[in-house]
Structure 1
């Protein structure tokens, strides 16, 4: 099946993680549990950083801008990376952009939902604040489409992150959705590199008459949370440590299902599908800043 938009994040991104089986069903939601691979009782954060340094280029830049780079620079030019880095806030005050980047990577590599628009593309300065969703993706399912709006939270407690994510989605639906659809209409051409592609996307996003495909609005949610690792855990055998991590993540994910269902019912978020990605981190507040710092370091 030909994709209307290119998927830039390779499937190999998922190989950095162990995907845990999750047999529980959740109202209107698909829940995906990903645990970064472990070596000697430590997450392989260094390899994640290496991958993210590549991914930020396609996350930040529109397809049109990437084509301009390809047309005017050699494939070894650092310019796309340097320009991308400048759009990120300084690591010391950067609480959200790691989750936004990871959500982009999972939606593309795991769901086959290519990016339609990233808020990073709209920033003219690293300190700009662009309201609304974290990013917008387009998912083709049989003969219909989903417009996916992104929301990411990285909290120590998974339940707190889930509650806040759904509160943000309800606020966005009530007050930001019209603005967001306007952004798509205004900027979508930046993602298209052909007139034919633009017209096809336009026919999906702005259907008319009986010929247009069905379009529904859904949400992609990234939930990072803290894994309480201490010396007692670190002193476990490698096999036991991995098993403890997997069990802890699965148990927390099972608990979060009730929170999600309560929020959907309380906030009247019916009619939407939620694509949820859950990832544990050690020392989450320190780690997310450290990963951003290393990812943005121009060597």
Structure 2
């Protein structure tokens, strides 16, 4: 008899890292808010500023680049490399995997893979929802983006339901375009008529499940077996990252009252836009976690991430 509580605990432990260091570069602005008449919870974050008053773009880029190995390489390969280090005390295998991970990224400043990497960090470190599949490891051409959703993560609810989270990230200059394109991209996976899209991704999960513990993997496979009643205990959810350029970039740590009110008004406008787009794409009733991250310059963040990865 499988100890389901132990299996759930095993799964939770798969989430890599903690949110403390990441959130020090991306502090939250006010509390998370559920958009009225929807099931979408919005968390708004701004980049922190250093002691010289400069937004922490370089620090965030470094945190993103340092997560490339976790994001791109399956746990089985990482564990093998770590075992080689423990046996030989040589880091050669680990360094080789790091090089493999960084080589998988498209060498273009217009690539959306930087957003996918940041979304991965938010999923694993902030929400503590482990990755089910490393799609980047399936790439056959490093100059082509991976098709489908930007990530698939999961968590177990208290009632034994497996919550699966489809991810979508958009880092655009325009907030209007970013919100629209984000929900347009993720809605096919979340609507009631999205069975074919979900099935395609879940077949990949079944064939390339990023879990090494045999008992845990066997338990998870039940949720993807169409002949198993556990498929009735799967719930679809979304996690979105929307980043965009924001003029007169605020240092949220030192805002006076009028500045706080001005930023709050901007956040309220974004919430209204989100609500309108959710209605437009007919996903108001689906549970979605949305990270709204205004930035000084999205293109600069992309460029710095590529540079930190040695791509420029």
CA distance in 1, matches of 2:62, 2:230: 45
Q: What SS does structure 2 have at the residue aligned with 1:2?
A: helix
More displaced 10-residue stretch of structure 1: 144-153 or 157-166: 157-166
1:43-192 correspondence runs (5 A): 43-73=55-85, 74=89, 76-77=91-92, 78-92=95-109, 94-143=110-159, 144-172=161-189, 174=194, 176-188=197-209, 191-192=210-211
Are the aligned partners of 2:171 and 2:178 in contact in 1 as well (CA < 8 Å)?
A: yes
Q: Which whole-Å deviations, capped at 9, do the CAs of 1:187-209 have from their partners, x for residues lacking one?
A: 11xx1213212111112333756
CA distance in 2, matches of 1:241, 1:125: 50
CA pair 141-162 structure 1, distance change in 2 beyond 3 A = same
Matched, 1:7 2:22: no
Q: Which whole-Å deviations, capped at 9, do the CAs of 1:136-187 have from their partners, x for residues lacking one?
A: 0012221222111110011222232111111112345546323112211221
1:28-39 correspondence runs (5 A): 28-39=39-50
Q: What SS does structure 2 have at the residue aligned with 1:18?
A: coil
Q: What SS does structure 1 have at the residue aligned with 2:199?
A: helix
Q: What SS does structure 1 have at the residue aligned with 2:34?
A: coil
- What is the TM-score of this pair, normalised by structure 2? 0.82
Unpaired runs of 5+ residues, structure 1, are none
Query: 1:67 offset after TM fit, Å?
Result: 1.2
Q: Which whole-Å deviations, capped at 9, do the CAs of 1:36-71 have from their partners, x for residues lacking one?
A: 211222112222233223211100111111112112
Matched, 1:282 2:296: yes
Q: What SS does structure 2 have at the residue aligned with 1:21?
A: coil
The residue aligned with 1:256 is 270
The residue aligned with 2:3 is none
The residue aligned with 2:254 is 239
How many residues align? The count is 289
- What is the TM-score of this pair, normalised by structure 1? 0.85
Q: What SS does structure 2 have at the residue aligned with 1:3?
A: helix
Query: 1:276 offset after TM fit, Å?
Result: 0.5
Q: Which has the higher strand share?
A: 1
Unpaired runs of 5+ residues, structure 2, are 1-7
Superposition RMSD in Å? 2.8
CA distance in 2, matches of 1:182, 1:28: 27
